[in-house]
Structure 1
Amino acid sequence: MAIALRKPKELTKLRLAGSIVGKTLKYLQENITVGMTLKEIDAMGEAFIREQGAIPSFKGLYGFPAAVCTSLNEVCIHGVPTDAKIKEGDILGLDLGTKIDGYFGDAAITIPIGKISKKDEELIACSKDALYYAIENIRVGMRFKELSALLENFIIDRGYIPLRDFCGHGIGKKPHDEPSIPNYLEGKPKQGPKIKNGMVFCIEPMVCQRSGQPIVWDDKWTVVSEDGLRTSHYEHTVAIIDNRAVIISGA
């Protein structure tokens, strides 16, 4: 399947969807407090998205039951909001999407709850730094497999392991579109499609400590590493404009 090249009008709509994602993540980060339940955080996020005139695109997507993926501690991605209360020293992944005027936005952060350990600070920093390193180094003409290799090498150099079987993705009129962008290299880096101006896609490093082998809980959504240790996840939507990657999911 061909990877879409977005026209300026489409980019404007994608920027709007992405900006609402960024604003919502910022709002949640500034207002989440110790003692809140994951369901309360999800409700906050959904209400804020709707106040901006958008639809929370994750809610009902493939059957997901909430607007915000709330991934607590060892949960890497797709955490289902529950009545569990967050406490000092936790780390919490927040992943959410929007839909407005037919176009989608998507981004994620992992945040500290109060004061956290240095070990957890470094874990969060790996996923965040890997994301921004990748964005800074994207160039028109490089292949997506080269991007995957870049992400993998960064994560491993920090002493961590990328989660397997889950990946970044294209985005536009669909929440998930071509191409798939794993955080690890499959095949040879000089194979596959090249990055071109007008492409829009999500990069999302998912970082584990000892094993990248995923385990999905009985809820069919929640993904953890088989090592049972804490994980981190960051994501931005980027557009390729004037030969470089521009973040369009910022606040």
Structure 2
Amino acid sequence: MAIALRKNDEIAKLRTANQIVGATLELLASHTKPGMTLKELDAMGEEYIRSQGAKPSFKGLYGFPSAVCTSVNDVIIHGIPSDYALQAGDIVGFDVGTQKNGYFGDAAITVGVGTISSEDEALIACAKDTLYFAIDIIKDGMRFKELSYEMERFILARGFVPLRGFCGHGIGKKPHEEPEIPNYLDGPNAKAGPKIKNGMVFCLEPMICQKEGTSKILANGWDVVSTDGLKGSHYEHTVAIINGRAEILSIA
């Protein structure tokens, strides 16, 4: 399947959907305190998304039961909100999707609850810094595999490893479109595969493990952890390629 090239009016609609995502993540981060339950945060996020005339696109997607993915500590992505009350020292990832006027938004952050360890600060910083590093080096004509390779190198240089089996992706009129964008080089040749072009819109989402990048899905069918059993982190933005560079759409 060909990778879509979006026109200016489409990018504007994608920006609107993504700005709601960015604002929702800011709201959730500001209320991430000891004692807050994951279900309370999920409800808060859903209420805000709907107040903006958008739909929470994750709710019901592939059978996911909630509006916000809430991934605590060793759960790296796709955590289902529960009655768990956050405790000081936890880290929690929020992944939010929206749909408005037929177009989708998607982004994620990982935040600490109260005071967290320096090790957890470094873990979160790796995901965030990898994301912004990748956004900065994107240029028209670069291959997606080259981008994946550079993200992997960045993560490894920080002393962490990328989660395998999950990836970034295109986005537009569907929440997940071509291409798939792993956070590691999949295959032997970074100079192979499709090139990044003006008009493409896609999600980059570094998912960081401490020791082992092998993924494991827990018994609820959603929570994704590393086989090392240690904490992980996740950051994501939706970007559009405009004038040869990546512009972040998922900022409030």
* TM-score band, normalised by shorter chain: over 0.9
| CA-CA distance at 1:239 after TM superposition | 0.1
The 5 Å alignment of 1:162-201 reads 162-187=162-187, 188-201=189-202
User: What secondary structure is seen at the aligned counterpart in 1 of 2:69?
Assistant: strand
For 1:6 and 1:138, locate their aligned partners in 2 and report how far apart those are by CA, in whole Å.
17
The 5 Å alignment of 1:81-96 reads 81-96=81-96
| CA-CA distance at 1:184 after TM superposition | 0.5
For 2:194 and 2:106, locate their aligned partners in 1 and report how far apart those are by CA, in whole Å.
22
| CA-CA distance at 1:31 after TM superposition | 1.9
| CA-CA distance at 1:96 after TM superposition | 0.7
Q: 1:68: which partner in 2?
A: 68
User: What secondary structure is seen at the aligned counterpart in 2 of 1:2?
Assistant: coil
CA RMSD of aligned residues (A): 0.5
| CA-CA distance at 1:33 after TM superposition | 2.0
The 5 Å alignment of 1:87-236 reads 87-187=87-187, 188-236=189-237
For 1:48 and 1:33, locate their aligned partners in 2 and report how far apart those are by CA, in whole Å.
18
Which digits, 9 at most, give the CA deviation of each residue in 1:13-61, with x for residues without a partner?
0000000000000011112221011111100110011111100000000
Larger mean CA deviation between 62-71 and 30-39 belongs to 30-39
Gaps of 5+ in 2: none
Q: 1:52: which partner in 2?
A: 52
User: What secondary structure is seen at the aligned counterpart in 2 of 1:132?
Assistant: helix
| CA-CA distance at 1:243 after TM superposition | 0.3
Letter in 2 for 1:186: D
User: What secondary structure is seen at the aligned counterpart in 2 of 1:184?
Assistant: coil
User: What secondary structure is seen at the aligned counterpart in 2 of 1:178?
Assistant: strand
For 1:234 and 1:40, locate their aligned partners in 2 and report how far apart those are by CA, in whole Å.
22
For 2:205 and 2:2, locate their aligned partners in 1 and report how far apart those are by CA, in whole Å.
21
For 1:214 and 1:194, locate their aligned partners in 2 and report how far apart those are by CA, in whole Å.
28
For 1:215 and 1:226, locate their aligned partners in 2 and report how far apart those are by CA, in whole Å.
6
For 1:114 and 1:208, locate their aligned partners in 2 and report how far apart those are by CA, in whole Å.
22
Letter in 2 for 1:37: T
Question: Is contact 2:33-2:88 (8 Å) kept?
Answer: no
Which digits, 9 at most, give the CA deviation of each residue in 1:161-219, with x for residues without a partner?
00000000000000000000000001210000000000000000000000000110111
Structure-2-length-normalised TM-score: 0.99
Which digits, 9 at most, give the CA deviation of each residue in 1:90-140, with x for residues without a partner?
000000100000000000000010100000000000000000000000000
Letter in 1 for 2:217: V
Structure-1-length-normalised TM-score: 0.99
Question: Is contact 2:89-2:112 (8 Å) kept?
Answer: yes
Question: Is contact 2:95-2:109 (8 Å) kept?
Answer: yes
The 5 Å alignment of 1:3-14 reads 3-14=3-14
Structure 1 runs of 4+ with >2 Å offset: none
For 1:212 and 1:250, locate their aligned partners in 2 and report how far apart those are by CA, in whole Å.
29
For 1:182 and 1:204, locate their aligned partners in 2 and report how far apart those are by CA, in whole Å.
9
The 5 Å alignment of 1:22-33 reads 22-33=22-33
